[in-house]
Copies of this chain bind each other. A is one copy, B any other.
Amino acid sequence: MKKTILLGHGSGGLMTSELIREIFLTHFNNSILNTLSDSAILQISGTDLAFTTDSFVIDPLFFPGGDIGKLAVCGTVNDLSVSAARPLFLSAGFILEEGFPMEDLERITKSMADEALHAGVRIVTGDTKVVKRGQCDKLYINTSGIGLIDRRFVSIAGGSLIQPGDQVVVNGYLGDHEMAVLAARENLGFENAVFSDVASLNNMIMSLLEAGVKIRFMRDITRGGLATVLSEIAVSAKVGIRISESLIPIREQISGICEVYGFNPLYLANEGKVVMIVAKESASQAVKLMKKTETGTHACIIGEIGNSSPGRVLMNSIIGSTQIIDKLAGEQLPRIC
């Protein structure tokens, strides 16, 4: 049987990695792409730049806490930010389905503009394509972005600074985005509304960098969730990571929904969360500074980099056992980003 693309290839987990390795890296093969970091790190005429791209295909377009427009700006701002870059310029490419309501396009465009203003970036170039009815699901947006990296921070993106003893920090509750989108799509009637965490993280991240927090590495926690991000860090940096289940910030409501529906919150997608690997002596300062910002009020340390088990993420569970945490293997709930 001929191999075809499956939904799991877009999950951000194991199947996505395989697709990238087998097809894209094989053919596009170059030293910049091969690092597979959130942004490509470029040097042009002595200037260090980050460059990244992301397509947004979320269903539904509007959800509690945001919409595809805000998501498209935040997603690319965050990919640049976790590469220690100051996001400057975005592009916006729209694929529109014939018959899409003009007022929805205007609302989404305004949402992009508002978020760009908030994040301090400018949308400087764009493209519009229209396809026939039934050839896209209402609207897809691609944003690409360019950020400037201060020479002092240019080695953060590579991950080579990570060392045993470093602390693992997250900036707040996990899983809100995926649950908010799921609830909106499936019309699930939760007792209290769940709101997406979608937010630009550049101001928070920059405040830590400028304060001298020794950030060794960062990744935003999107598709595939915390589990996938940590697994990828453990493998690529060849370190062991140990986290404690009891320290992982998850709202009681989200835990409850996960229990009912059988989801594992470690695999839920977020759009305003970052995992930072921070030098031990900087970790409490990092948390303190995060808490001062609107995107980090529930920041905390959840684990550390260990000496043993390189390539593995181990979790001390609440009941006292040790679990191996793997990256997402199958499908994410589709179209949450």
Closest to A106 in B: B23
Asked if B132 and A135 sit within 8 Å, CB to CB, the answer is: no
Oligomer: number of copies: 2
Asked if A55 and B93 sit within 8 Å, CB to CB, the answer is: yes
Interface check A116, CB cutoff 8 A = yes
Asked if B28 and A92 sit within 8 Å, CB to CB, the answer is: yes
Asked if B126 and A33 sit within 8 Å, CB to CB, the answer is: yes
Interface check A202, CB cutoff 8 A = no
**Which of chain B's residues have a CB closer than 8 A to the CB of A6?**
98, 130
The segment from A38-46, A170-178, A179-187, A300-308 that touches chain B is A38-46
Give the bracket for the number of chain A residues in contact with chain B. Answer: 35 or more
Neighbour of A53 across the interface among B2, B16, B103, B125, CB < 8 A = B125
Interface check A230, CB cutoff 8 A = no
Closest to A145 in B: B144
Asked if B28 and A101 sit within 8 Å, CB to CB, the answer is: no
Q: Report the bound CA distance from A129 to B146 in whole Å.
A: 21
Asked if B100 and A5 sit within 8 Å, CB to CB, the answer is: yes
Asked if A124 and B40 sit within 8 Å, CB to CB, the answer is: yes
Interface check A128, CB cutoff 8 A = yes
Q: Report the bound CA distance from A226 to B7 in whole Å.
A: 41
| Contact flag A128-B335 (CB < 8 Å), given A44-B47, A99-B5, A148-B44 | no
Asked if B146 and A44 sit within 8 Å, CB to CB, the answer is: yes
Neighbour of A19 across the interface among B44, B128, B137, B140, CB < 8 A = B128
Asked if A96 and B5 sit within 8 Å, CB to CB, the answer is: yes
A190-230 CB contacts (< 8 Å) to partner B? none
Closest to A56 in B: B129
Q: Report the bound CA distance from A207 to B335 in whole Å.
A: 45
Asked if B52 and A125 sit within 8 Å, CB to CB, the answer is: yes
Q: Report the bound CA distance from A56 to B127 in whole Å.
A: 10
A105-156 CB contacts (< 8 Å) to partner B? 105-106, 109-110, 112-113, 116, 122-132, 134-137, 140, 142, 144, 146, 148
Interface check A188, CB cutoff 8 A = no
| Contact flag A53-B127 (CB < 8 Å), given A47-B44, A113-B28 | yes
Asked if B98 and A28 sit within 8 Å, CB to CB, the answer is: no
Closest to A138 in B: B135
Chosen A-B contacts, 9 in total, with CB atoms closer than 8 Å, are A5-B96, A5-B98, A6-B130, A26-B109, A40-B125, A53-B144, A55-B142, A57-B131, A131-B334
Question: Which 8 interchain pairs have the tightest Cβ spacing?
Answer: A10-B130, A144-B144, A53-B91, A40-B124, A3-B102, A142-B142, A27-B113, A40-B125
For the complex with contacts A23-B105, A45-B148, A53-B142, 11 further pairs of A-B residues with Cβ separation under 8 Å are A3-B103, A5-B97, A5-B100, A27-B112, A27-B113, A44-B47, A51-B146, A53-B144, A136-B136, A136-B137, A144-B144
